[in-house]
Structure 1
Amino acid sequence: MPGEEPFAMSQIFQVHISDDRMSASLAIKPTEEAEESVDVKRLSDLLAASGVRVGIRQELLSAIAQNPKAYFYTDNIVAAGTQPTPAVNGYVKVLFEDQDQSRRPVEREDGSVDYREMQQLANVKAGQLIATRVPPLPGKPGMTVTGEPVVPKDGREASFKIGKNVVVNPEQTALYAAMDGLVTKTEKDKLNVFPVYEVNGDVDYHTGNIDFVGTVVIRGNVLTGFRVRASGDIRVTGGVEGAEVESDGSIEIAGGIIGSGKGHVKAGVNVKCSFMQESNVTAGQDVIVLQSIMHSNIRAGRSIRCEGAKGLVVGGVLQAADLVVARTIGNAMSTVTSIEVGLKPELRQELADLRLQVRQLADSLEKTEKALVLLDQMAAAGQLSPDRLAMRIKLNATRRQVTEELKDVKAHILDIERELEDTDLAAVKILHTVYGGTKIVIGRYTRFVKDSAQRVTFKYEEGEIVMTSLV
């Protein structure tokens, strides 16, 4: 009878629609009937009866109709919906950044650098536009196999990260300078306009230490024992000796840093200079050195780059969260040089401090336990005086407190160690040569370089640090 055909078809050919309605599959019952009297129209009618209307793979239906047996035991996706095109998130376009990026120092043939162009400050006037807020772009809807539209998620609106001496228009679409000064990006990408304080010469006994709520430009050197502190950027046309130079923004030093193991240079954003020798340097994001890093301790929240004509790193410890790039690491004398990536440097230090704290807490707990054992024995013998009873109560409270504190510290260590395992993007890249004596640390894994190699990358893969040719 005509009414029995759809029923017979649905018994042999079963349509399954996925929960999200983005695909439909056809399961074929392995019977002789499945190989008889089936054609594309009947299969199409069966899909339509099941509600499948969009994205039907006609070529697959034709293949099934010609040879159903070949599709008995496979997952036959006969229709696929269209995924929505995702929206584009909004963003803040900082107008001064494009100009700043173009102000790159000119590198001479001998590897030295002309910083004169870099020292031209990007000043703004009160009322000048600094940044605009670009709205998100909508995505395009998709469609399920049953013909229902799939609406994409809306893109996220961007918001200004407002620092000091800036104002936003009522529509929240533009950011302006509230005063004459220098546009400076500080930690967490806040935009500020700071006044500029210029020193026409060295920072020495004549000027004394400098602590300024703004940007500092020093047209000379910073001598050993002095301190320069700024809320904005710090620009030094000369060099920095064993001094303390700290900025919430970035620090640029034309003549390099010769620390002699004294003082430090610390920036909330980037540190850029020509060379570093026996220096202590910390940057919230990047450390960029054009010539060499010699026997220095460098920490960077993102990357350390030494890629100039010389691009030499010898001795010391370099720690970066993501990437270290240099032309040459180590030397023919196998000077010990340690390169560590895969974890923010401050977390590595925190992990070392926490492990020391665990040992101290464990020692304290052990002493408390031994004292309690003696007091418990005296209590069992009825020899516990009122003073010792009070001590016993106090030690029990101490044991509970130390045990809880030890548990919290161990949990914190576990959190950091989990981050140590997340090292997929961390890498050490050598553009020319890496020498024996170099120690490579990625996350919790260590590899010692025994023989020199050229143009290689070190990355973590499947439980070990591997060395591959630099692409």
Structure 2
Amino acid sequence: MSDGLKFISQAGFVHVEIPHGLDVSAMTIENLEDAYRKSELSKAKVVDNGFQNAVTEARKYRTENPGTKQNLRFKIAEIRDAELTIEISEDAMEAEAYVTAPYGGTTLSRGHILSCLREQEITAGIRREAIEQLIEHCNTALPGLPLEVTIARGRKPVNGLDARFKPLVPDARKRILRPQDRGDGSVDMRDLGKLFSVKEGEAVLRRIPATKGRPGFTIKGEPLPATDGTDRDIKAGKGTLLNPDNSDELIAEKQGMPTFIDNSAEVDEVLTMKDVDVGTGHVDYEGSVIITGSVGEGMRVKATGDITIAGYVDSAELNAGGNITVAKGVIGHQLAHDDEDDDDNFAPLSTRLIASGSVWVSYAQYAMLIGKHGVIVDKQLTHCHVITQGALCVGGEGKNALGKLIGGVVETTSDVSAGQVGAPAGTKTRIYFQQPLDASEADVEVNSLRNHLQIALRTIKKLLAAQQQLAKIPKLNERQQLMRSKITDELAHQQNTIATLRGRLSLVMDTPAPDLQLQVIAGRQLYPGAIVRFEDKFLRVKEHRGGTVIALRQHELIMDVLR
């Protein structure tokens, strides 16, 4: 029985009013709840035991006060407005809004949400669609249902891109250095691809200008600066020139092999020969040389570009201004010498490969391999002397290397990777880490600061001499007085400049050199007899180990399991 019940909103709560004429003995909890659910205030949150307490208290009052004409009123539900909480991330790049749909109370308005954002100083990156989503949730969701949305999001700064240089044709060096796919998933190490050449006038390199950085901001409107990309000019190299119709392009000046070095390109003429032996004599060529056969004992091949050998090199000397590629083997032997082959003396070898670029060979034994930018060996390196400022990779790179490095000496300023280092017989295999030969950024800055300091000192010397000449004049005219004033001002400026330069020079010279970090990776096996050295530090391997890394860290050599 619920006829006559009234539900009244008062002071944030919903009360049920039971008229004095209603028989409460026949009223049940179910009757009361059903009547409430049908009322306009049914979205309010029912208090704990609200219906039960109302029925119980009403019956009790009527029993204790029979014949009363008083209407009874009991609290059964609480009216709650929509709740909004905003949390800001530590970097002030995002704000999350947490909202709870109202229990019959006031919903959220756009103005209220914006006011809450302003209170937390959120002024930028506000997502209008998120505000609409919050409002719609409060108007349509079940009472008390929560919702989380990102209501504001800052914009991270995007640094501009440096000028880039896009080759428009394949790099002849890289083309040759790439073993060809057999079609069954394997590669043919003897087939290094067709020779690529360009025609006169063909575009070979394009400059893509640097881009501007895009500044960012936090949700509090704080600017986040971005750095513009560094721009550089395109530079014509040997055999190329600027395209007269496009100053951002290089074109070939002649037919030949294209190669790329950073912001420049070169086109080398190509000499192709079958073999180099006593019948052909030595080769000294301005350009690149391709030998489809082999280079015989005692022969010399010199080229300003690349040298590519499809066959073998046997006790010969190759000297290239670019890369050296030997599709098959490099073979030599030790030459007679008086010095003992200890840690500081190395036996001379009959085969020498010297490249200003990289050296790539299938395998080598008793050969000196000097590649400025790296030495790559496909299978095995045995009793060789390697000198490089780049990486030495034997059978792959890093822990994926499968080749063998046995005996010999490696002098490098970079990493060494091989599947096996040393041999079961304890063959002495020496790897010497060295400081990079190229000047560091600090060295470059020191030289620049010293040059500017010398210029400033020379300028002061000239200014003082001019000041002394003016001082000898008894009475200065107007022009001379103006000159004296300018000299005084310029002296003060140069003295400030010198003080600044000396301060910066002292700071740079006192800054410790960066820590050199190099490593030797033996991907599968490391045998006794292997020696790694850096300056006066030695690490000698005394036991057979599995995958191992020997790292140079903070000028110390550390050996650990390869992970």
Aligned residue pair count: 335
2:274–2:294 contact (8 Å) kept in structure 1: no
Match in the other structure for 1:434: 526
| Partner SS, residue 249 of structure 1 | coil
Match in the other structure for 1:223: 296
Deviation per residue, 1:251-284 (Å, 9 max, x gap): 1012221122124110111111111111111111
Write the distance in 1 (CA, Å) between the matches of 2:392 and 2:550: 15
Deviation (angstroms), 1:190: 4.5
Write the distance in 1 (CA, Å) between the matches of 2:181 and 2:315: 26
Question: What letter matches 2:236 in structure 1?
Answer: I
Match status 1:324 vs 2:399 = no
User: 259, 283, 295: which one pairs with 1:210?
Assistant: 283
Match status 1:135 vs 2:212 = no
Larger of the two Rg values belongs to structure: 2
| Partner SS, residue 547 of structure 2 | strand
Instruction: From the superposition, tell whether residues 237 and 165 of structure 1 become closer, same or farther in structure 2 (CA, over 3 Å).
Output: same
Match status 1:245 vs 2:318 = yes
1:270–1:283 contact (8 Å) kept in structure 2: yes
Deviation (angstroms), 1:246: 0.5
Match in the other structure for 1:173: 248
Q: Which has the higher contact order (CA 8 A, sep 6+)?
A: 1
Match status 1:453 vs 2:528 = no
Identity %: 29
Match in the other structure for 1:153: 227
2:354–2:370 contact (8 Å) kept in structure 1: yes
Instruction: From the superposition, tell whether residues 88 and 272 of structure 1 become closer, same or farther in structure 2 (CA, over 3 Å).
Output: same
User: 176, 179, 184: which one pairs with 2:259?
Assistant: 184
User: 89, 92, 95: which one pairs with 2:168?
Assistant: 95
Instruction: From the superposition, tell whether residues 323 and 189 of structure 1 become closer, same or farther in structure 2 (CA, over 3 Å).
Output: farther
| Partner SS, residue 164 of structure 1 | coil
Match in the other structure for 2:329: 256
Write the distance in 2 (CA, Å) between the matches of 1:340 and 1:184: 31
Match in the other structure for 1:105: 179
Match in the other structure for 1:356: none
Deviation (angstroms), 1:85: 2.1
Deviation (angstroms), 1:456: 1.9
Match in the other structure for 1:370: none
Question: What letter matches 1:182 in structure 2?
Answer: M
TM-score (norm. length: structure 2): 0.53
Structure 1 gap segments, 5+ residues each: 1-21, 24-42, 57-79, 348-414
| Partner SS, residue 305 of structure 2 | coil
Match in the other structure for 2:403: 311
Question: What letter matches 2:406 in structure 1?
Answer: V
Deviation per residue, 1:333-389 (Å, 9 max, x gap): 111101133534799xxxxxxxxxxxxxxxxxxxxxxxxxxxxxxxxxxxxxxxxxx
2:175–2:195 contact (8 Å) kept in structure 1: no
Deviation per residue, 1:77-128 (Å, 9 max, x gap): xxx98652222212111233478656622599xxx98455315211111122
Match in the other structure for 1:278: 366
Instruction: From the superposition, tell whether residues 304 and 127 of structure 1 become closer, same or farther in structure 2 (CA, over 3 Å).
Output: same
Question: What letter matches 2:298 in structure 1?
Answer: G
Match in the other structure for 2:145: none
Write the distance in 1 (CA, Å) between the matches of 2:300 and 2:543: 42
Deviation (angstroms), 1:158: 3.8
Write the distance in 1 (CA, Å) between the matches of 2:331 and 2:181: 21
Write the distance in 2 (CA, Å) between the matches of 1:441 and 1:231: 34
| Partner SS, residue 254 of structure 1 | strand
2:254–2:267 contact (8 Å) kept in structure 1: yes
Match in the other structure for 2:57: none
Match in the other structure for 2:238: 164
| Partner SS, residue 407 of structure 2 | strand
Write the distance in 1 (CA, Å) between the matches of 2:298 and 2:234: 39
1:87–1:152 contact (8 Å) kept in structure 2: yes
1:253–1:273 contact (8 Å) kept in structure 2: yes
Match in the other structure for 1:28: none
Match in the other structure for 2:376: 288
Deviation (angstroms), 1:330: 0.5
Deviation (angstroms), 1:155: 0.5
Q: RMSD of aligned C-alpha atoms?
A: 3.6
Match in the other structure for 1:423: 516
Question: What letter matches 1:423 in structure 2?
Answer: L
2:402–2:524 contact (8 Å) kept in structure 1: no
Write the distance in 1 (CA, Å) between the matches of 2:295 and 2:535: 36
TM-score (norm. length: structure 1): 0.62
Instruction: From the superposition, tell whether residues 115 and 189 of structure 1 become closer, same or farther in structure 2 (CA, over 3 Å).
Output: farther
1:184–1:232 contact (8 Å) kept in structure 2: no
Write the distance in 1 (CA, Å) between the matches of 2:175 and 2:301: 27
Structure 2 gap segments, 5+ residues each: 1-90, 93-115, 127-152, 334-348, 440-508
Match status 1:337 vs 2:429 = yes
Match in the other structure for 2:270: 196
Write the distance in 1 (CA, Å) between the matches of 2:280 and 2:321: 21
